[in-house]
């Protein structure tokens, strides 16, 4: 992910979340040394589109997922699974042992994705999301040395 990607990313973000991240939040992540900010780009008829992005931190021996979204037109094609596998594999390469994330309790699509990737719910933060008053589920998974999502 680069600064030049942000206009497209902000449009995906706005279409994906009730309270989208601002440009400043993305710029902060791009400036953070231990943040990994990655995009998947897809070329269609000579035009390159940002199809998905993921942001995670490598902290101590833990990977923390901060943001993940797939552009609507490219959903249900395995891109989120691929990005989650990439996060696991980068974590494994640099010696991380576990990975964690927070997800809105009503975001069933994302919860299903994370369960498929081996995450389990280990805790709950009541009314963590002040825009909707939703609880956050705190999910954890071990880093796998080899992953195969089929
Ligand atoms: C959640 C999201 C990232 C999934 O992206 P995706 O590329 O469509 O996901 P994949 O194609 O890799 O699907 C992987 C798994 O996710 C789950 N999933 C994805 N979309 C789903 C849907 N519409 N309904 C139910 N489960 C869904 C399924 O378990 C799926 O596995 P399956 O295809 O074997 O059933 C995407 O819907 C999105 O960007 N949502 C808005 C942003 C968001 O909620 N991000 C997560 C914040 S915590």
Ligand 1 centroid to residue 150 C-alpha, Å: 15
- Measure the CA–CA gap between 65 and 84, rounded to whole angstroms: 9
Ligand 1 centroid to residue 40 C-alpha, Å: 15
- Measure the CA–CA gap between 59 and 61, rounded to whole angstroms: 6
Ligand 1 centroid to residue 83 C-alpha, Å: 11
Check: pTM over 0.85? Answer yes or no.
yes
What are the two backbone dihedrals, phi and then psi, of residue 48, each rounded to the nearest 5 degrees? -100, 125
* DSSP calls for 16-83: H-SSPPPHHHHHHHHH-TTEEEEEEEEEETTEEEEEEEEEEEEETTEEEEEEEEE-GGGTTSSHHHHH
Minimum CA distance residue for ligand 1 atom 5? 80
pLDDT of residue 10: 98
pLDDT category at 15 given cuts 50, 70, 90 is very high
Residue 103 contacts residue 111 (beta carbons within 8 Å): yes
DSSP 144: P
Residue-wise pLDDT for 25-42, tens only, equals 999 999 999 999 999 999
Per-domain residue ranges of the chain: 3-142
Residue-wise pLDDT for 70-111, tens only, equals 999 999 999 999 999 999 999 999 999 999 999 999 999 999
Residue 77 contacts residue 89 (beta carbons within 8 Å): no
Minimum CA distance residue for ligand 1 atom 39? 69
What are the Cα distances from residue 130, in Å, to 3, 81, 94, 126? 28, 28, 35, 10
- 3-142 — its CATH code? 3.40.630.30
Q: Let me know the angle formed at the C-alpha of 75 by 69 and 76, rounded to the nearest 5 degrees.
A: 125
Minimum CA distance residue for ligand 1 atom 3? 69
Ligand 1 centroid to residue 78 C-alpha, Å: 8
- Measure the CA–CA gap between 75 and 15, rounded to whole angstroms: 13
């Amino acid at each position: 992910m680069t600064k030049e990607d942000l206009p497209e990313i902000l449009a995906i973000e706005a279409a994906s979340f009730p309270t989208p991240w601002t440009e400043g939040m993305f710029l902060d992540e791009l400036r953070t040394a231990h943040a990994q900010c990655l995009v998947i780009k897809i070329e269609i008829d000579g035009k390159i589109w940002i199809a998905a992005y993921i942001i995670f931190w490598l902290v101590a021996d833990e990977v923390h997922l901060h943001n993940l979204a797939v552009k609507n037109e490219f959903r249900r094609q395995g891109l989120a699974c691929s990005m989650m596998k990439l996060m696991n594999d980068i974590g494994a390469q640099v010696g991380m042992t576990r990975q964690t994330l927070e997800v809105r309790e009503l975001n069933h699509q994302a919860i299903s994705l994370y369960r498929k990737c081996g995450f389990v719910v280990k805790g709950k933060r009541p009314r963590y999301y002040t825009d909707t008053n939703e609880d956050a589920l705190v999910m954890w998974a071990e880093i796998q040395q080899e992953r195969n999502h089929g």
